Chains A and B, each alone.
Chain A
Amino acid sequence: MLEATDTIIQGLLLGGLYALFAIGLSITYGVMRLVNIAHGDFLVLAAYLALWPVTNLEMHPFVAILPVVVLMFCLGYTLQRVVLNRTMGPNFLAPMLATFGMSIILRNGLQQIYHSDSRSFDIGAVGADSIHLGGTIAVGEFPLIVFVVAVILTFATSLLFSNTRIGIALRATSDDAETAGLMGIRANRTYAIALGLSFALLAVGGVFAGIRTTFTPESGPASLLYAFEAVVIGGMGSLWGTFAGAVILGIAQGVGAKLGAGFGVLAGHLVFLAVLAFKPTGLFERSR
Chain B
Amino acid sequence: MLQVRNLVARYGEFQALFGIDFDLKQGSIVALIGANGAGKSTFLKSIAGQMPNKSGEIRFNSEEISSLPPDRIVRDGISLVPEGRRLFRSLSVEENLKVGSFAGREGRWTLEAIYTLFPQLKDKRHVPATALSGGQQQMVALGRGLMSNPDLLMCDEVSLGLSPSVIKDIYMVFPQIRAEGLSLVVVEQDIDAALRISDYLYCFMHGKVTLHGAPSELTKEQISAAYFGLETA
Report whether chain A binds chain B.
yes
Residue contact A171 to B79, C-beta cutoff 8 Å: no
Residue contact A183 to B100, C-beta cutoff 8 Å: yes
Residue contact B104 to A182, C-beta cutoff 8 Å: no
Quick check: is B98 within 8 A (CB to CB) of the other chain? yes
Q: What residues on A are CB-neighbors of B104 within 8 Å?
A: 184
Enumerate B6-28 residues with CB–CB distance to A below 8 Å: none
Task: Indicate which residue in B50, B89, B95, B100 contacts A181 across the interface (CB closer than 8 Å).
Answer: B50
Add 4 more A-B contacts to A165-B102, A176-B88, A181-B69 (CB < 8 A). A171-B88, A183-B99, A183-B100, A288-B89
Residue contact B90 to A182, C-beta cutoff 8 Å: no
Q: How many of chain B's residues have a CB under 8 angstroms from any CB in A?
A: 25
Subset of 19 A-B contacts with CB under 8 Å: A165-B102, A168-B95, A171-B88, A171-B95, A172-B91, A172-B99, A175-B88, A178-B50, A179-B82, A181-B69, A181-B70, A181-B71, A182-B74, A182-B79, A182-B80, A183-B74, A183-B99, A183-B148, A185-B102
Enumerate B102-125 residues with CB–CB distance to A below 8 Å: 102-104
Quick check: is A103 within 8 A (CB to CB) of the other chain? no
- 8 nearest interchain CB pairs? A184-B103, A181-B70, A179-B86, A175-B88, A172-B88, A184-B74, A184-B71, A288-B90
Output the nearest chain B residue to A163 by Cβ-Cβ distance. B95
CB distance from A219 to the nearest CB of B (A): 35
Q: What residues on B are CB-neighbors of A182 within 8 Å?
A: 48, 50, 70, 74, 79-80, 82
Quick check: is A186 within 8 A (CB to CB) of the other chain? yes
Q: Mark B29-65, 1 if CB is under 8 A from A, else 0.
A: 0000000000000000000111000000000000000
CB distance from A32 to the nearest CB of B (A): 14
CA distance A183 to B144 in the complex (A): 8
Quick check: is A157 within 8 A (CB to CB) of the other chain? no
Q: Give the number of residue pairs across the A-B interface with Cβ within 8 Å.
A: 63
CB distance from A33 to the nearest CB of B (A): 14
Residue contact B98 to A168, C-beta cutoff 8 Å: yes
Residue contact B102 to A169, C-beta cutoff 8 Å: yes
Quick check: is A275 within 8 A (CB to CB) of the other chain? no
CA distance A169 to B101 in the complex (A): 11
Quick check: is A94 within 8 A (CB to CB) of the other chain? no
Quick check: is B178 within 8 A (CB to CB) of the other chain? no
Q: What residues on B are CB-neighbors of A178 within 8 Å?
A: 50, 86
CB distance from A192 to the nearest CB of B (A): 14
Output the nearest chain A residue to B89 by Cβ-Cβ distance. A175
Output the nearest chain B residue to A187 by Cβ-Cβ distance. B71
Q: Mark A185-208, 1 if CB is under 8 A from B, else 0.
A: 110000000000000000000000
CA distance A186 to B69 in the complex (A): 9
Residue contact A174 to B90, C-beta cutoff 8 Å: yes
Output the nearest chain A residue to B79 by Cβ-Cβ distance. A182
Quick check: is B75 within 8 A (CB to CB) of the other chain? yes
CA distance A175 to B80 in the complex (A): 18
Q: What residues on B are CB-neighbors of A283 within 8 Å?
A: none
Q: What residues on A are CB-neighbors of B90 within 8 Å?
A: 171, 174-175, 288
Q: What residues on A are CB-neighbors of B79 within 8 Å?
A: 182
Q: Mark B140-182, 1 if CB is under 8 A from A, else 0.
A: 0000100010000000000000000000000000000000000
CB distance from B120 to the nearest CB of A (A): 22
Enumerate A234-256 residues with CB–CB distance to B below 8 Å: none
